[in-house]
């Protein structure tokens, strides 16, 4: 019994050492070499979007970019994509997709749901967003370990894009008006009603 307890203790100790070693190695996977300066507060914000006065700010980040300028461009492009996704989410909510796709067959529901989401996505991507402006960016230069075990250098880049709330509402309005065609073709009267209500509300807000 005493030998078993000693063996168990040794195994626990070995496991603890292994875990600690792994943790130490993971901490050494990335080494900060240089940064743009003090990290802005928005970089650490958990939300992908936030308000700043009458502006709506969208944030995005890209990691381990070889070229800094291309990294900044990629981060800004992703921030714009996040803006488009926010518009798409508002359109999707009008359709209440789980209720819009009625079928007892799960696979059929999944296919129909994917088809509907694709139609909405195409409408939103085709919607012109005016007034979006690149704002700040921030970068950190890192040395990191690749999957092959080699050490290399790259940039983590964060960027924000701003748009006036009125311009965002205009883009939402345009997307929802186009989405009325989807609701009509699918004979989704509930979606049409929700879209009409939202369109009317947006128009009233824009006319104020």
Q: In the predicted model, is pLDDT for residue 161 greater than 90?
A: yes
**Per the domain annotation, does 28 fall within a domain?**
no
pLDDT in the model for residue 6: 41
**Per the domain annotation, does 188 fall within a domain?**
yes
**Per the domain annotation, does 18 fall within a domain?**
no
Q: In the predicted model, is pLDDT for residue 5 greater than 50?
A: no
Q: Looking at the chain, which runs of residues are DSSP E strands?
A: 30-35, 49-52, 55-65, 133-145, 151-164
C-alpha distances in angstroms, 25 versus 29, 143, 145, 149?
Answer: 6, 14, 10, 12
**Could you tell me the end-to-end alpha-carbon distance of the chain, in angstroms, rounded to an integer?**
82
Domain that holds residue 140: 34-207
Q: In the predicted model, is pLDDT for residue 101 greater than 60?
A: no
User: Domain tally for the chain?
Assistant: 1
**Per the domain annotation, does 1 fall within a domain?**
no
Q: How confident is the model at residue 113 (pLDDT cuts 50, 70, 90)?
A: low
Q: In the predicted model, is pLDDT for residue 139 greater than 60?
A: yes
**Per the domain annotation, does 6 fall within a domain?**
no
pLDDT in the model for residue 82: 96
Query: 49 near 58, Cβ under 8 Å?
Result: yes
pLDDT in the model for residue 110: 57
**Per the domain annotation, does 130 fall within a domain?**
yes
CATH code, domain with 162: 3.10.129
Q: How confident is the model at residue 16 (pLDDT cuts 50, 70, 90)?
A: very low
Mean pLDDT (the chain, rounded): 83
pLDDT in the model for residue 93: 87
**Per the domain annotation, does 50 fall within a domain?**
yes
pLDDT in the model for residue 30: 85
Q: How confident is the model at residue 111 (pLDDT cuts 50, 70, 90)?
A: low
Give the global pTM: 0.76
Q: In the predicted model, is pLDDT for residue 23 greater than 50?
A: no
**Per the domain annotation, does 16 fall within a domain?**
no
């Amino acid at each position: 019994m005493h030998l078993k307890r000693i063996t168990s203790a040794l195994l626990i100790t070995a496991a603890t050492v292994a875990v600690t070693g792994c943790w130490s190695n993971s901490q050494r996977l990335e080494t900060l070499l240089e940064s743009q300066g003090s990290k802005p507060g928005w970089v650490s914000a958990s939300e992908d979007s936030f308000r700043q006065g009458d502006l709506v700010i969208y944030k995005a980040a890209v990691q381990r970019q070889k070229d800094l300028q291309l990294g900044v461009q990629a981060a800004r492009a992703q921030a714009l994509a996040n803006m488009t996704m926010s518009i798409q989410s508002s359109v999707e909510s009008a359709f209440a997709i789980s209720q819009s796709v009625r079928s007892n067959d799960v696979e059929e529901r999944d296919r129909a749901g994917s088809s509907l989401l694709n139609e909405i996505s195409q409408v939103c991507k085709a919607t012109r967003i005016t007034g979006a402006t690149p704002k700040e960016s921030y970068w950190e230069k890192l040395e990191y370990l690749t999957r092959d075990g080699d050490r290399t250098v790259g940039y983590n880049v964060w960027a924000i894009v701003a748009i006036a709330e009125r311009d965002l509402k205009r883009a939402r309005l345009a997307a929802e008006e186009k989405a009325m065609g989807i609701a009509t073709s699918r004979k989704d009267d509930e979606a049409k009603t929700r879209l009409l209500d939202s369109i009317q509300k947006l128009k009233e807000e824009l006319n104020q």
